[in-house]
């Protein structure tokens, strides 16, 4: 039996998970409320919070899984993309543990891990499938040929989908991260109330900069006419923005499915927790004959269970990292 400890520290969640023979035994996530006052993640504060959290988080993950350090057969860490200082905390901790326990080290790509979260528990997609990975920093359309063989067929040319949610939330005066709050308010509003102009991107790529500017000007003009506009229309604004962002994502997901002839379709990453996107892909399942895979909420946003499942497949393939491996904020998808 192979027991792997996995550590995720790419952004503002410190997480550790234990996986044994492909079964996730524990998954501990510690958030970082320190960023709330700043309206966004402050990299230096994130690094310090990771340093404070990592020992108790790893200890709890081991305890929850009922394993000792001596049971561990490998240590995995996120090698990027992410914030360098934050990544370094997890990487240094993982390397030190691997060195002292004399076990191999596994370096996991964060965006690949978001996709592989679909293999933590069933129902699991069949290969090849199409995955729309939407997070705070990335928006990617990926053809997943195998656990380790993946090809990006479309991606954002500017902002990520999560960023579009978070930046809109900021304009509305909502606290960070705004995505989940926009989602909650959207459920009480009319998605057809307002519409926003957008740019058509190339091929299967995405662009969110046009709609971001359109939302900015729309709010600025409306608030000039009526300073109470945002408070009076919050639910309708959130519902309309959410619909517009989900439409952009769905349009390219549909195009990709059509062009590539793939009807096995998954969504992943923080924004895959969005209720509008989840409903839209379920609807498309009915209208386009897709088989749709939507992750459990706890595996949408950042977590170490997804790093653990990716590490499990890398271990099986013998893809180990050396002790001088260093994380990178822009770790290449095919590195
Ligand atoms: O994957 P993730 O946890 O971290 C990154 O790898 O970036 O994604 C975080 C992003 C944030 O932008 C957050 O606002 C967004 O996911 N998010 C949501 C929802 N839950 C999280 N966006 C819209 N609706 C949600 N329910
Ligand atoms: Zn993520």
Q: What's the pLDDT tens digit per position in 255-298?
A: 999 999 999 999 999 999 999 999 999 999 999 999 999 999 99
Q: Which two tokens stand for residue 259?
A: 């062009």
Separation of 111 CA from ligand 2 center, angstroms?
7
User: What pLDDT was estimated at residue 56?
Assistant: 98
Of residues 211 and 1, which shows the higher confidence score?
A: 211
Does residue 269 line the site of ligand 1, with CB under 6 A?
Answer: yes
pLDDT at 37 over 90: no
Dist CA 331 CA 80 (whole Å): 5
The mean pLDDT of 142-148, rounded to a whole number, is: 98
271 lines ligand 1 (CB under 6 A): yes
Cβ–ligand 1 distance for 302 under 6 Å, the answer yes
Q: Residue 183: its pLDDT value, please?
A: 98
- Which atom of ligand 1 has the smallest separation from the CA of 10? 6
Helix (H) or strand (E) holding 163: helix 161-171
Q: How confident is the model at residue 39 (pLDDT cuts 50, 70, 90)?
A: confident
CA distance 272 to 139: 11
pLDDT at position 209 is 93
Q: What does the pLDDT average to over 113-138?
A: 97
Q: Is the CB of 15 under 6 A from ligand 1?
A: no
Mean pLDDT of the chain: 97
- With vertex at residue 44, the alpha carbon angle to CA 42 and CA 45, rounded to the nearest 5 degrees, is 65
Residue nearest to atom 21 of ligand 1 (CA): 270
CB proximity list for 114: less than 8 A, separation 6 or greater: 133, 135, 268, 269, 306
CA angle centred on 285, ends 279 and 289, rounded to 5°: 170
Q: What is the pLDDT of residues 178-229, one digit of tens each?
A: 999 999 999 999 999 999 988 889 999 999 999 999 999 999 999 999 999 9
pLDDT tens profile 56-111: 999 999 999 999 999 999 999 999 999 999 999 999 999 999 999 999 999 999 99
Q: Tally Cβ neighbours within 10 Å of residue 113.
A: 25
**Ligand 1 binding pocket includes 11 (Cβ within 6 Å):** yes
Nearest CA to ligand 1 atom 24: 274
d(CA 290, CA 90) in angstroms, rounded, equals 38
Query: What is the Å distance from ligand 1's center to 132 Cα?
Result: 13
Q: What percent of the chain has pLDDT over 70?
A: 100
Output the residue whose Cα is nearest ligand 1's atom 23: 179
Residue 3 per-residue DSSP state: E
Q: Which residues contact 284 (CB under 8 A, 6 or more apart)?
A: 250, 253, 254, 265, 290, 292
H/E segment holding residue 39: none
Place of tokens 């260093």: 326
Distance from the alpha carbon of residue 137 to the mean position of ligand 1, in angstroms: 9
* Structural contact between residues 313 and 112, judged by C-beta atoms closer than 8 angstroms: no
CA distances from residue 267 to 14, 70, 150, 311 in whole angstroms, order as listed: 23, 36, 15, 20
Compute, in angstroms, the gap from residue 119 CA to the centroid of ligand 1. 20
Q: How far is residue 295's CA from residue 291's CA, in Å, rounded to a whole number?
A: 13
User: In this structure, is the dihedral angle defined by the CA atoms of residues 74, 1, 294 and 199, taken in order, positive or negative?
Assistant: positive
SS3 229: helix
Q: Which ligand is nearest to the CA of 83?
A: 1
pLDDT above 80 for 335: no
| Residue 128 pLDDT level (bands cut at 50, 70, 90) | very high
CA 136 – CA 177 distance, rounded (Å): 9
pLDDT at 198: 85
Q: Output the six-digit token pair for 251.
A: 């349009």
Mean pLDDT for 121-139 is 97
Question: What is residue 40's three-state secondary structure?
Answer: coil
Asked if 288 and 264 touch (Cβ cutoff 8 Å), the reply is no
Closest CA to 22 of 317, 316, 312: 312
Q: Determine the pLDDT at residue 252.
A: 98
Using a 6 Å cutoff on CB, does residue 179 contact ligand 1?
yes
In this prediction, residue 279 carries a pLDDT of 98
| Atom number, ligand 1, closest to the C-alpha of residue 301 | 3
Ligand nearest to the CA of 278: 1
Give the ligand at the shortest distance from the Cα of 41. 1
Assigned token pair, 234: 């919050």
């Amino acid at each position: 039996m192979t027991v792997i400890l996995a550590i995720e520290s790419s952004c503002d969640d410190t997480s550790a998970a234990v996986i044994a023979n492909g079964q996730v035994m524990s998954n501990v996530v510690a958030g970082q409320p320190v960023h709330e006052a700043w309206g966004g993640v402050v990299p230096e504060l994130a690094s310090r919070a990771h340093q404070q959290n990592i020992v108790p988080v790893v200890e709890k993950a081991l305890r929850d899984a009922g394993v000792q350090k001596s049971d561990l057969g490998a240590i995995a860490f996120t090698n990027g993309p992410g914030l360098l200082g934050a990544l370094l905390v997890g990487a240094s901790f993982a390397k030190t543990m691997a060195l002292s326990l004399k076990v191999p080290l596994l370096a996991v790509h964060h965006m690949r891990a978001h996709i592989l979260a679909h293999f933590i528990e069933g129902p699991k997609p069949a290969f090849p499938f199409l995955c729309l990975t939407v997070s705070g920093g990335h928006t990617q359309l990926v053809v997943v040929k195998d656990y380790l063989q993946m090809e990006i067929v479309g991606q954002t040319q500017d902002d990520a989908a999560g960023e579009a949610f978070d930046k809109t939330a900021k304009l509305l005066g909502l606290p960070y991260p705004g995505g989940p709050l926009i989602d909650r308010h959207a459920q009480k509003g009319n998605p057809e109330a307002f519409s926003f102009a957008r740019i058509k991107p190339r091929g299967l790529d995405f662009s969110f900069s046009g709609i971001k500017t359109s939302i900015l000007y729309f709010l600025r003009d409306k608030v000039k006419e009526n300073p109470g506009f945002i408070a009076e229309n919050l639910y309708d604004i959130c519902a309309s923005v959410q619909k517009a962002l989900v439409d952009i994502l769905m349009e390219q997901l549909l195009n990709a499915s059509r062009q590539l002839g793939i009807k096995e379709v998954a969504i992943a990453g923080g924004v895959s927790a969005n209720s509008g996107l989840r409903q839209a892909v379920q609807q498309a399942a009915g209208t386009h004959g897709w088989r749709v895979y939507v992750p459990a909420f706890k595996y949408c946003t950042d977590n170490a269970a997804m790093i653990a499942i990716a590490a499990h497949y890398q271990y099986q393939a013998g893809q180990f990292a050396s002790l001088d491996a260093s994380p990178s904020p822009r770790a290449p998808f095919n590195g």
